[in-house]
Structure 1
């Protein structure tokens, strides 16, 4: 969670999100209307003066601050608000002494990805905090959209972590979860934006038991597959994406990491009526940097395969030329 403070041109706090209350140990009611320097002591390094003078984004890592008698070490970002001259958003995240030490002990070449990930997360943190503040101002009908923004920022931040450690991280923990809730969340994300008039069909088996998976990873897998299907059929006369779930028997995967076979009775199928994948690439679509899109990065399906594998699952691809359909199938274990 990232703490966010909205500051006016005089560095007076105008709003604060719940994460700021937790980090600083001060309620937003007490902070609002107070000068920033009376809430946070930035020490003798002159950082507070730099905050007042800067007319561009400011980033600092491992800054020692004091709130009352407490000392915190934080990463700090200041971003201007274009529509309000002089106003800015201050984002804080607690680094912790252990995290800072671990970074300092890494060889210099290995610190680069960590710093890059941090720089990407800073604007994401500002977006999430802004969505939280916006939720206080809008009506009940708009709050689901602000919640969606915050949830998606969290998922993107987690995705950055996964990309940074792709190929060497330990599998993320799995737990029983409702498969159809994860599908609906992914659909909300994919179809919340965009002008493509694509029909979405759902053919769910309501009797399915909970699936054993990691919720964030499963939603990311579904977002990638559904977004790919939407894009693939967008040029069709009547574009359509179909998501099916069903219980299958006999699907078993030998998991080397576990040293035993794992039954995979839960199937998710994402289908589209687009033209299909270039036959020359069909055997390589799950490899990194392989893409049939003009501006594709070739990382989406590689990450999908990695995430599915980490959940002890299996993913496959099939083209049905007779029906004019492309199918992606994910098989996962069910929760005991």
Structure 2
């Protein structure tokens, strides 16, 4: 959460959003009239000097500061308000973890979403904070506009978060896991989330092979992927005459899928399939369904399946999509390694 302050030309606080109240431990009323740089004590005084010297477009990352006797590392931006350059918006966010710089691999194209995300989130936070400040000053009739701004900013931030996941390189905690426990958790989550729908929803049917050995996977990540596939399948089934969504598990002993990753071949005999009988994915995008920003949904972002593929591959697995027109079925199949 970004703390946002509206400052006058002297650096005096005029307004503050709720995150700023939490950061400084004071209400907006108490913060008003105080100098921002007196509350946010930087080890290096150059930011105050630059601001008062007229260098008002400031961006700083991982800066040591002290707030209420608590030392922290913060990211800071100061920008003039476009309609009135005598007013400024300051955003402050606590730097959690090591963000002092981007590693060499993060400067590659794979790491581009992380870099882009950081650069976009700073102005977004200012927009959101300004909308929060505006909401305190306007009447009920204009609140709808403020809500729209906040909601749309949050939607964009969510897209950026998912883009950053696509570019992340974090190691997963793969270990021997109970596959059916993971699948049932995902099914229970989807059923609970869709239980309030007003229209007839899909019926999820389990077809499990109870003899399967433990799978080598990150349980939380695999559950996340399955929830995504199940939601997609249920959505696709809404307008179908057959709203059944089947979740199958089996040992693919006759298959020779291998993933060449981490310098070695990995056998992938454990299969999970999510099958629906909806209309299927539009033929024009079927071959690119796992690419970012490709979607057949009217309001789809095109990041869910791209992220699913990335997460499955991080678990040394494989995900594929097939359409059987004769049976009227769309299948998404995940193949994962068996635990030793």
How would you bin the TM-score normalised by the shorter chain? 0.5 to 0.7
User: What is the aligned counterpart of 1:329 among 310, 330, 333?
Assistant: 333
Contact 1:12–1:32 (CA<8 Å) still a contact in 2? no
Task: Check conservation: 2:260, 2:266, Cα contact below 8 A.
Answer: no
Are the structure 2 counterparts of residues 179 and 77 from structure 1 closer, same or farther at C-alpha, using a change threshold of 3 Å? farther
Give the stretch that moved more between structures: 311-320 or 172-181: 172-181
Aligned to 1:139: none
Pair 1:94 & 2:98 matched: no
Q: 1:92 to 1:198 in 2, by over 3 A?
A: same
Matched ranges for 1:69-218 at <5 A: 70-75=70-75, 92-95=93-96, 99-102=99-102, 113-114=113-114, 116-118=116-118, 159-165=162-168, 169=169, 172-177=172-177, 178-180=181-183, 182-184=185-187, 187=190, 191=194, 195-203=198-206, 205=208, 208-218=212-222
Please say which structure displays the higher CA radius of gyration.
2
TM-score (norm 1): 0.58
Shift of 1:270: 0.9
Separation (CA, whole Å) in 2 of partners of 1:284 and 1:39: 52
Unaligned regions of 5+ residues in structure 2, if any? 5-13, 49-57, 79-90, 129-156
Structure 1 residue matching 2:257: 3-state secondary structure = strand
Q: 1:226 aligns with which of 227, 230, 234?
A: 230
State the distance in 2 between where 1:271 and 1:240 align: 8
- The unaligned stretches of length 5 or more in structure 1 are 25-30, 47-58, 79-89, 127-153
Q: Which moved more, 1:240-249 or 1:189-198?
A: 189-198
Using a 3 Å threshold, how does the CA distance of structure 1 residues 12 and 324 change in structure 2: closer, same or farther? closer
What is the SS of the residue equivalent to 2:282? coil
| Distance in 2, Cα, partners of 1:114 & 1:258 | 23
Q: 1:250 to 1:297 in 2, by over 3 A?
A: same
Number of residues of Structure 1 aligned to a counterpart in Structure 2: 279
For the aligned residue pairs, the C-alpha RMSD in angstroms reads 5.3
Aligned pairs (5 A) from 1:216-255: 216-255=220-259
Give the match for residue 261 of structure 2. 257
Contact 2:187–2:230 (CA<8 Å) still a contact in 1? no
Q: Cα distance 1:156–1:197, how it changes in 2: closer, same or farther (>3 A)?
A: farther
Shift of 1:313: 1.4
Distance 1:245 1:305, change over 3 A: same
CA distance in 1, matches of 2:27, 2:292: 51
* Structure 1 CA distance for aligned equivalents of residues 219 and 27 of structure 2: 40
Match of 1:307 in 2: 311
Question: 1:100 aligns to what SS in structure 2?
Answer: coil
